[in-house]
Structure 1
Amino acid sequence: MEEELIEVGLPTAPKRVILLHGLTGTASVIQPVAEYLHKRLGEDYSFILPTAQIIKVKQFKGEPVHAWFDVKNSDFRKQVDVEGIFASSDRIASLIRNEISNGISPKDIFLGGFSQGGVIALATALLEPFAVSGVFALSSYLPLENQLTSQLTEASKDVPIFQAVSLKDEFISQEMSDRASLFLKKRGNPVLVQKYDMRHEIRSRELEGDVAKFDFCRISTSPFSYNLF
């Protein structure tokens, strides 16, 4: 079955943002975030919102949900579904390569994601043999299993990363967030970490931090809050 894919903005826009939803979400769920950013960035940017496939998630007692990879343990550091991460990363990489084949430079492609989507955004960018313009990972983390980290490319060390950390996050621990940022900094990535007094959610303040980090323009301070899992 073809999964939902939503595009926000003009197909002729010179810059692309691939934005990934979290566990149990869809492109429609994270679409308000893309629309919020698009209104502030203008027509130079367009957003591509893919939807994860439906898989059986062990942590949900095998219930089929939209997920970028399986969650086998409430402690996300254990029993990591590395194969699932690779599979979803390959899928997003195909979207990137399609944009490149249409004349978009990797330097004009951004990856962003919330929670599980942030994992895939990070993994995809770090596995590619070229550097995309940047990654923003919201309330997310990076699995540090050797199967994954041993395949990160030299070129991806040039990818700047914005990491938004929720201090009251019910799912992603501070330790997981800190381990990810420390690993990325040690390997040489330019990393900006911002911490917010909020739960596992997306708010306008962190979106504005993201756009500032990646040289997005026309930042607005109008309120935005969206709860996502």
Structure 2
Amino acid sequence: MKQEPPVLIEPQGKVQKTVIWLHGLGADGHDFEPVVPQLGLPEDHGIRFIFPHAPINPVTINGGMQMHSWYDIRSEDLMNDVDAAGIRVACYRVFELIENQLKQGMAAEDIILAGFSQGGLIALHAALSGQYELGGVMGLSTYCPMAEQFYLHRKMPILMMHGLYDPVVPLASAEASRAAIEKGGYQVEWHTYPMAHQVCAEQLLKIGEWLQQREA
């Protein structure tokens, strides 16, 4: 099946940074498209937003239902029952998007990965195990098994955010993931919000501030 091209939002002026933002399970690239105007960015922010679509695959935990998914979720044991092969394939999809930006003249340090839930896991794994010296990575309402693989880009800015009442990805899984990443020598900026498995207005403004701080 031919892969659907990502949703692309170009800035008004010169492109200075690129954010590749991955959606969660069952959504698609349009899911986070509406948040861009809610980030509180100035008109001349210069950020290109790319929202790719995950391929459609059967998801075991949902009875084998076909849906947009970056990898399979086999059980509720998110940190241990892991589709490592699927995660690796999804990361290569992200690497292709990064390579495409590099070919267009974007520097690696001006590329930021972001993702929500499943997409957050892929963003973290791609950024922290890949060969690229990226400008940062943002994981929203996510978890991160296999963090022992992360040993490369020690100074990469990492932003993690989570809902205190998340029933899908438990806060404990997110906190354990953060601790594992920090154990590898990384600095993680961590924020929690009184919400479930979602994003909120206060959080989006904080994301906008964080993106503006990622200077070349």
TM > 0.5 fold call: yes
Give 1:204's match in structure 2, choosing from 188, 201, 206: 201
User: Aligned residue for 2:18?
Assistant: 16
Asked if 2 retains the 8 angstrom alpha-carbon contact of 1:38 and 1:45, the reply is no
Give 2:76's match in structure 1, choosing from 68, 74, 77: 74
Summarize the alignment of residues 126-145 of structure 1 with structure 2, pairs less than 5 Å apart: 126-144=128-146
Deviation larger for 104-113 or 71-80: 71-80
Give 1:170's match in structure 2, choosing from 147, 167, 171: 167
Q: Does 1:179 align with 2:176?
A: yes
Shift of 1:35: 4.1
Deviation larger for 2-11 or 59-68: 2-11
Shift of 1:182: 0.9
Number of residue equivalences: 212
Shift of 1:206: 1.2
Deviation larger for 33-42 or 133-142: 33-42
Distance 1:136 1:157, change over 3 A: same
The DSSP-based 3-state class of the residue aligned with 2:7 is strand
Distance 1:186 1:118, change over 3 A: same
User: Aligned residue for 1:37?
Assistant: 39
* Inter-partner Cα distance in structure 2 for 1:38 and 1:52: 27
Asked if 2 retains the 8 angstrom alpha-carbon contact of 1:17 and 1:111, the reply is yes
Shift of 1:125: 0.2
Deviation larger for 10-19 or 181-190: 10-19
Distance 1:188 1:92, change over 3 A: same
* Inter-partner Cα distance in structure 2 for 1:135 and 1:114: 11
Asked if 2 retains the 8 angstrom alpha-carbon contact of 1:131 and 1:158, the reply is no
User: Aligned residue for 2:101?
Assistant: 99
Aligned letter for 2:68? H
* Inter-partner Cα distance in structure 1 for 2:205 and 2:40: 12
Task: Name the % identity.
Answer: 29
* Inter-partner Cα distance in structure 2 for 1:178 and 1:39: 29
Asked if 2 retains the 8 angstrom alpha-carbon contact of 1:4 and 1:27, the reply is no
Asked if 2 retains the 8 angstrom alpha-carbon contact of 1:140 and 1:165, the reply is yes
The unaligned stretches of length 5 or more in structure 1 are: 218-229
Asked if 2 retains the 8 angstrom alpha-carbon contact of 1:110 and 1:133, the reply is yes
* Inter-partner Cα distance in structure 1 for 2:180 and 2:118: 18
User: Aligned residue for 1:112?
Assistant: 114
* Inter-partner Cα distance in structure 2 for 1:76 and 1:129: 26
* Inter-partner Cα distance in structure 2 for 1:40 and 1:139: 26
Asked if 2 retains the 8 angstrom alpha-carbon contact of 1:4 and 1:26, the reply is no
Instruction: Provide Cα deviations, 1:57-103, integer angstroms capped at 9, x if missing partner.
Output: 00111110000000100221232101111100110011111111211
Shift of 1:208: 1.8
Structure 1 length as normaliser, TM-score? 0.86
Structure 2 length as normaliser, TM-score? 0.91
Deviation larger for 47-56 or 7-16: 7-16
Deviation larger for 101-110 or 59-68: 101-110
Shift of 1:142: 0.6
